[in-house]
Each structure stands twice: as C-alpha cells, then as structure tokens.
C-alpha cells in the first residue's frame, strides 16, 4: 500500500466500548502489562490489516487524502497488523499521536498520583510505548517508508529536539487539512520534505467527511474554542460550527458500521451555531432534535463544555441533559476549571470567564457544576498548577475551590503545567517540584481524594460499557487499591 496511516493501539481502540477507559493509556507500561493492555485496548481490522474504526483525527486525514489518492493507495491500518500492510511499495507512513513522549497532561496526572502514593514506576506511559512500537516495527525498519507524524502532541518532537533521532521525516503541527495533500504527494514522489509544517485553521469547506467509522462514534460538531487562554494552542483561536449535513453523514456512517453510540465532540458544545460566546438556543435544540431522529434511541453524548457557557443559559443545559443526553443514565462531561483564582484568570485566561467578570469565576464554576449535576452529568474537571504567573495565593484560592466542590458530583484532575501555546520554550515542570511544594501537594492530594471517592460512586458509568470481565476487574481493583493508599495519606495544610 502506497500510503499507510495508523496510530498507537491506545488511540485505535474503542476501549472495550467505553471511552472513559482511555485514561488508562497514561499508566506506565511497567504497571500496565501487555496481558491487561491487550484487553483494555482491543483493535479491529479485516484480514488485510485495514482497520474497521479509526481515531477521529486520523479518519479526517484519510478522508482528505482520498480527495487526491485512490482507496487502493491509502489505508488506515491496525497497528497490530502493520506486517500485513507496510511492504516494499509503501512510500509514506503517517502516524497520529496523542502523547508520544509521555509528557502531556494525562501522563503528568498519573505520574504525580503515583509519586504521591509512593508507588514506584518507570516514566514511560503505555501511550508512549505503543507509539514507539510503530517506529520500531520490523516492517517499518525494513522497508523504511518516509514518516510523517501529526496530531495534538506532535509539538513534543520539535520542542524536545528528538525528531531526527527517532527518524521522523516531517512533523505536522496544527490543523492538517490545508497542507497534507501537497505534503504526501511530495513524500510519495520522493521529493525533499520540510522538517516541520505548521497547519493553519481551515475553512469549513476544507474539512472533509470521514470515510472510516470513528472510535466510539465520535463526530465533530465544532472546531476551535476562541477564548484564547495563553497555555492553549493557537489553532484553537478560530471557532467554527460544522454544518449539520456533515454531522449527519458521519453519524450515519458510524451507525451503518454497527457502532452503537454517538459522541458529539467539541471544545464547548454550547457554542454550536453561535457567532459569539452566548449559546444559540435555537441552533442547539435543532442539533439535538435532528441527532435524536437519526440515532433511533442509541445513546448520544457530549464531551466538553465551558462553565461560563453553562451559566449563560442554565435552563438550556437542563433541557439538553434531561431530554436528550441523560434520559435513562448518568454520564460524564469535561470542564476545564484550571484555577480557582480570579487574579490568575485575569492574567492568563480572561476569555474563559466571558461574558462574566473574573471576580465571579469561582461562583460561576460552582453554580455551573451544580446545573450540570442536576442535568444528569458528573463533571470531570481539570486544574493546572505551576503556570509561570501563578502565586501561592492563587494556589490557595484553588484549594478553597476544591474544598467547596466536595459536595458536588465532580472528579478533579490537577495537571502539571505543560509549556504549550504562548508558553512554548518555557521549562517543563518536574513532578518533584510539585510534590515537594506543600501548597501544590495539598491541592493535588485534596483533589485526588475527591476524585477517587467520586469515581467509586460513579463506577457504573465506566463499567456499563465494558465488555471484558478482565477490564472490569482491573478497574475495580485499581479504585479499591487507590482508596486504601489514599486513606493512609495525611494532608499537612500549608495555609
């Protein structure tokens, strides 16, 4: 096959039917042994190695390339069957990555947790290991196709200066649709390739409709955020709503393939159809009504929402949750809290609170989580610490917010600062820096205790989709083990 596209086993899996288990891919490979990992992250393909489902970003890349190349020239391959696909006629291997070097937020959360609990580990995540297995695959080493890598974490190769060492010809950073056809044509024709290509946000008509079904029925409804936090990637500044006809085509493709869930992906689902930061109630209701007509009672989920968007129209949120998403079940939704400090909001992420004032932010977060809870969602929240502008007083405000959230249905992950966006070039935060800082250690422990107790309370949300008994057992064992370890940790308040 002339062009082979793939991603790590952790990205090309449906996680046994529940995307929530994807978090396990950040576990160190020394803990997540292959026997368990192979059952947590199954992949599906035909006898020729063509994958039956694809990581959503990779499916978009395939769809764009099929505008120039034929189906006989392009394949989305099962990473477990590369030996069937990568041959002497393979000219290009395109790889999508989420955290190839094990330094992104997910790995940071896991490593920090293990350090807090005193659990020994080697810092190589399963996600990282399974990515490296592609680069080191015998067929890749034998036939030496040109390697192009992209995806949300492709910046890691450039910032850590390991691209050449790993044998990667080109790194694509940003949105790929506007540049990959020319790039892959050059690669196929043996022409010189740039080491790094930066893809700019593309217009709606340049975004293709996927041709391979997506993992767990993920379908993009908006792209970009537009709120402009300093720690985020610049490509998220341009906000776009996807026309419903494109959404409909992708949902129908997934349903025809036998996928029994629909995941509406966005950075804030309440921005769908809006030209500003205020939810467009008519457009959002129309979206969910039309999706319900297509879905035939198949569960529909949403992944992200912004707290300030929730508080712009709480009644709309309650309607969406109670009438369309959480009718007979409870689900998770992600909210980026990032900090409890109004001052840090002003300095680093003023767009996150708009159209409200930074001083209102802690109350907005609590009220929004309350609305989401009442609408059938348990909130999965993230907070970031060690941002360069962060002061001890900012951390204290975050601790106070975490304490206030103990009575809510919320999971809180504290993330070590990663130098992205405007902070590229800053030093990475070491976990030792966090653990040895009394204030940040207190923030992490209090968040972790709330998280583990909440996950135990909502274990049915994770387990109901798991097909593997081994995966269910591993999940239950991990939660009970963490509870026991956490109960032995005393919090020495630094306030």
Q: What is the pLDDT of residues 341-394, one digit of tens each?
A: 999 999 999 999 999 999 999 999 999 999 999 999 999 999 999 888 999 999
Based on the fold, state whether residues 326 and 309 are members of the same structural domain. Answer: yes
Based on the fold, state whether residues 267 and 187 are members of the same structural domain. Answer: no
Cα–Cα distance for residue pair 242/239, rounded to 1 Å: 10
pLDDT-derived band at 90, boundaries 50, 70, 90: very high
Based on the fold, state whether residues 238 and 158 are members of the same structural domain. Answer: no
Within a domain: residue 360? Answer: yes
CATH code of the domain in which 320 resides? 3.80.30.20
Tokens for 261, please give them: 């869930």
CA distances from 456 to 41, 118, 450 (A): 22, 21, 10
For the cut 70, the answer to whether the pLDDT of residue 146 exceeds it is yes
Against a cut of 0.85, is the pTM above it? Answer: yes
Q: What is the pLDDT of residues 68-82, one digit of tens each?
A: 999 999 999 999 999
Q: How far is C-alpha 374 from the geometric centre of its chain's CA atoms?
A: 25
Phi and psi of 198, rounded to 5°?
-105, 115
Of 150, 170, 204, the last residue of a domain is 204
* pLDDT value of position 13: 95
Within a domain: residue 81? Answer: yes
Based on the fold, state whether residues 357 and 253 are members of the same structural domain. Answer: yes
Of 152, 178, 204, the last residue of a domain is 204
Phi and psi of 380, rounded to 5°?
-105, 110
More confident residue, 367 or 102: 367
Within a domain: residue 55? Answer: yes
Based on the fold, state whether residues 228 and 192 are members of the same structural domain. Answer: no
Within a domain: residue 413? Answer: yes
Cα–Cα distance for residue pair 151/63, rounded to 1 Å: 15
Mean pLDDT for the chain overall: 91
Within a domain: residue 478? Answer: no
Based on the fold, state whether residues 188 and 258 are members of the same structural domain. Answer: no
Cα–Cα distance for residue pair 394/437, rounded to 1 Å: 14
Q: What is the torsion angle, in degrees rounded to the nearest 10, for the CA atoms of residue 337, residue 341, residue 347 and residue 349?
A: 10
Phi and psi of 170, rounded to 5°?
-140, 135
Contact 490, 438 (CB under 8 A): no
Of 204, 226, 261, the last residue of a domain is 204
More confident residue, 19 or 153: 153
Angle separating helix axes 56-65 and 180-188, nearest 10 degrees:
70
Based on the fold, state whether residues 228 and 320 are members of the same structural domain. Answer: yes
| DSSP per-residue string spanning 471-495 | HHHHHHHHHHHHHHHHHTPPP----
Q: What is the torsion angle, in degrees rounded to the nearest 10, for the CA atoms of residue 347, residue 348, residue 351 and residue 354?
A: -50
Average pLDDT over residues 398-410: 98
Based on the fold, state whether residues 191 and 78 are members of the same structural domain. Answer: yes
Range of the domain at 312: 213-457
Contact 94, 62 (CB under 8 A): no
Q: What is the DSSP letter of 2?
A: -
Within a domain: residue 145? Answer: yes
Cα–Cα distance for residue pair 379/458, rounded to 1 Å: 11
Contact 108, 416 (CB under 8 A): yes
For the cut 90, the answer to whether the pLDDT of residue 395 exceeds it is yes
Within a domain: residue 117? Answer: yes
Based on the fold, state whether residues 302 and 164 are members of the same structural domain. Answer: no
Omega cis (within 30) before 413: no
For the cut 90, the answer to whether the pLDDT of residue 474 exceeds it is no
Within a domain: residue 349? Answer: yes
Based on the fold, state whether residues 229 and 314 are members of the same structural domain. Answer: yes
For the cut 90, the answer to whether the pLDDT of residue 478 exceeds it is no
Q: What is the pLDDT of residues 32-75, one digit of tens each?
A: 888 888 888 999 999 999 999 999 999 999 999 999 999 999 99
* pLDDT value of position 467: 73
Contact 415, 385 (CB under 8 A): yes
Q: How many domains does the chain have?
A: 2
Based on the fold, state whether residues 217 and 144 are members of the same structural domain. Answer: no
Based on the fold, state whether residues 382 and 400 are members of the same structural domain. Answer: yes
Tokens for 345, please give them: 């909001």
């Amino acid at each position: 096959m002339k062009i082979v596209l793939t991603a790590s086993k952790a990205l090309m899996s449906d996680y046994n039917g529940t995307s929530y288990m994807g978090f396990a891919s950040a576990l160190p490979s020394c803990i997540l042994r292959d026997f368990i990992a192979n059952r947590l992250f199954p992949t599906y393909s035909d006898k020729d190695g063509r994958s039956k489902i694809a990581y959503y970003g990779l499916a978009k890349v395939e769809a764009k390339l099929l505008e120039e190349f034929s189906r006989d020239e392009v394949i989305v391959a099962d990473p477990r069957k590369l030996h069937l696909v990568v041959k002497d006629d393979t000219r290009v291997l395109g790889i999508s990555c989420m955290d190839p070097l094990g330094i992104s937020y997910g790995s940071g959360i896991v490593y920090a947790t293990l350090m807090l609990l005193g659990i020994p580990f080697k810092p190589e995540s399963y996600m990282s290991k399974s990515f490296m297995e592609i680069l080191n695959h015998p067929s890749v080493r034998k036939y030496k196709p040109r390697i192009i890598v992209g995806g949300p974490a492709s910046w890691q190769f450039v910032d850590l200066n390991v691209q050449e060492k790993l044998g990667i010809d080109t790194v694509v950073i940003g949105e790929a649709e506007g540049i990959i056809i020319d790039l892959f044509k050059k690669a196929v024709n043996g022409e010189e390739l740039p080491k790094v290509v930066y893809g700019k946000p593309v217009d709606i008509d340049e975004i293709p409709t996927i041709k391979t079904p997506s993992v767990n029925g993920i379908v993009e409804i908006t792209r970009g955020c537009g709120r402009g936090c300093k720690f985020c990637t610049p490509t998220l500044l341009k906000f776009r709503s996807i026309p419903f006809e494109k959404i409909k085509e992708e949902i129908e493709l997934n349903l025809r393939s036998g996928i029994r869930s629909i995941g509406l992906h966005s950075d804030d689902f309440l921005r769908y159809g809006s030209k500003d930061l205020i939810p467009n109630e008519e457009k959002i209701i129309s979206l969910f009504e039309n999706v319900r007509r297509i879905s035939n009672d198949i569960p529909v989920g949403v992944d992200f929402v912004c707290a300030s968007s929730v508080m712009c129209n709480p009644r709309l949120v309650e309607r969406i949750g109670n009438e369309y998403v959480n009718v007979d079940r409870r689900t998770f939704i992600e909210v980026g809290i990032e900090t409890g400090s109004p001052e840090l909001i002003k300095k680093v992420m003023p767009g996150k609170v708009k159209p409200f004032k930074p001083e209102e932010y802690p109350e907005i977060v609590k009220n929004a989580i309350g609305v989401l809870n009442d609408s059938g969602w348990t909130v999965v929240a993230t907070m970031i610490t060690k941002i360069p502008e962060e002061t001890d007083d900012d951390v204290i405000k975050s601790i106070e917010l975490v304490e206030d959230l103990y009575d809510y249905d919320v999971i809180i992950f504290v993330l070590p600062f990663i130098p992205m966006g405007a902070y590229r070039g800053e030093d990475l935060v070491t976990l030792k820096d966090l653990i040895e800082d009394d204030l940040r250690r207190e923030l992490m422990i209090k968040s972790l205790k709330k998280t583990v107790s909440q996950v135990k309370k909502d274990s049915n949300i994770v387990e109901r989709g798991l097909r593997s008994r081994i995966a269910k057992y591993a999940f239950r064992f991990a939660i009970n083990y963490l509870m026991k370890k956490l109960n032995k940790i005393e919090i020495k308040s630094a306030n």
